Amino acid sequence: MPVSKAQQAAVHKYVKANYDRMEVTLPKGKKDVVKAHAEAQGESVNAFVARAIDEAIERDQGAG
């Protein structure tokens, strides 16, 4: 069943109000490596990147 324009607008409004967006630039070919790794872990690319960031922040704060 196709998503209506109203549903698309509601989702867009929710995402805009509740999430920050970032763009990541990677060398050619790295996107496929990241996607394959995330899938191997049973995660989406977004979930993998968010987890990697959280783990790096936690590790860095513990080292300081």
- Domain count for the chain: 1
Report yes or no on 56 lying in a domain: yes
Residues near 44 by beta carbon (within 8 Å), at least 6 away in sequence: 38
Name the pTM for this structure: 0.77
Quote the pLDDT of residue 54.
97
Report yes or no on 42 lying in a domain: yes
Report yes or no on 7 lying in a domain: no
Tokens of 4: 């209506």
- Over the chain (64 residues), what is each successive 10-residue block's mean pLDDT? 95 97 97 98 97 97 84
